[in-house]
Structures are given as structure tokens and as C-alpha cells.
Homo-oligomer: A and B are copies of this chain.
Amino acid sequence: MKFDHNLHQEQQEKEQTVVIPSEENMCRTIEVAIIEPPSQPQVLPAVKLTPPPTTVNDDEEMFIPPLNFAMVDNGIFRSGFPNSTNFSFLQSLSLRSIIYLCPEPYPEANMDFLMANGIQLYQFGIDGAKEPFVNIPEDTIREALKVVIDARNHPLLIHCKRGKHRTGCLVGCLRKLQRWCLTSVFDEYQRFAAAKARISDQRFMELFDTSSFKHLPMPFSCSKRIRAHSLYRDSACQRTQKQGS
């Protein structure tokens, strides 16, 4: 498919000298461009938009990732609250666990999905209060982070309601652990939170102290993950809440 952006330039352009009469007998010469309309009304060719084949059969099922879905690192994903339309996509991730950051009980349909797919649920109930009454609980994020970096839980999905604030803070703390500069941590946080970005969340991430994780190196990307995993096996991992199979 091609759009012809030069059509308007194909109209005939002529330059012509115009003499403007003057009472003072002064002669001024101005060059003007006169664009003559085409003698026949121009018929623009229809733009052909050829959509790709839309035949959907069992082999061509479309996937619907949850709201705000993204890959955080090898074996770590993030999103907003998944619903039943997202289940076939989530199934394709072969998830081993889900970290759920809201205090509300997990919906029955989602629990059934976890049971059917052998996915472990870790719930860390953080209130979704609005600014300025936001107080991300540091201890809870710290416990959740232990689950995130334990490769035995991977592939793992972190989600809250919209995948912006609570999920954004947990991922931001993971990035600090991965020694990302604060500018990049905030840039990523803001990409998901967009117009809803909160200064209080960013202050929380800035002040989050990763020194208690120092014995657990957590470099970005898969190539070094195996080493981090084996190191983590020696440390205490708390499963705060077990549900599902």
C-alpha cells in the first residue's frame, strides 16, 4: 500500500508578472504564483487498504494480554488485573506463580484458573489509597521482593489492579536491586503510570534500602540469572501465603 503525497504538487503552477496601477505613476513589480485549477475535476484514485487475512481458526487464536502487560526480566512479568479473556495468553507463559498486591480476595474465576494450571498465589495486601494518603508499606514490598527474586517461583506475574502504582513500586525496588540509576527507575515507573504517576511512590522507591539484599546479587537479564538462583537457594525464602495447588 502506498500513499501518494505528491498529488497536490501535480497541479499546474505558473509564475506571472503583475503590474499594479498607481496614482503616483509609480510602477511596482510583484511576482506572484497563480495556481490554475485543473480543467477537469480531478478524480483521486481510491487508496487501497488491504487488511491482512482475518480468518481465525483454532490454530490462529488471538492472544489478549492483560492491561499494562510487560516483561520485566527473564521469567518476570507485570500487568494489571487479569480477567478471563486473558487466561489463554497467561497460559502461554507457563506461569509458576502470581504475586497479587491488593487486599481484596482473589476472584473465584481467577482462583479456578490458578488451580487448573498449578500456579501458586502469593498475596500481599497493599491498600490502593489515593494521594496524599498513600503509604506503601516497606516491609510488605520487601517480603514480596524476596518472592520475586527467587527463581524457583519463575515464570512469575506481578499484578495489582491497574499495574501502575503497587506493581510499579515493587518493580522499581527490583530495579534498585539491579542497580539501575534512579532516573531509569522513574522513567520505567512513569511509562506505566503515565498521567497517574505519584511523587509519593517515587519517593518510596528512592528511599527503599536494598542493603539487606546485598548478599543476593540480582543482575538484569537471563544470562546471569542461574548464578543468582543458586545463591538464593541458600537463603531463607518465606512463602507468606499459599493458595492453589
Contacts and interface: CB of A to CB of B under 8 A. Distances in A.
A155 B221 contact: yes
7 contacts: A5-B132, A49-B203, A50-B207, A62-B179, A71-B73, A92-B220, A94-B221
A108 to B, nearest CB: 25
Interface of A: 1-3, 5, 49-53, 60-65, 67-75, 89, 92-94, 132-133, 135, 138, 155, 176, 178-181, 183-184, 187-188, 191-192, 194, 203, 206-211, 219-224
Contact of A5 (B67, B69, B135, B203): B135
B188 A70 contact: yes
Number of copies: 2
Nearest to A211: B53
Given A92-B219, A179-B62, A69 B191 contact: no
A210 B52 contact: yes
Nearest to A76: B71
A72 B69 contact: no
Nearest to A86: B184
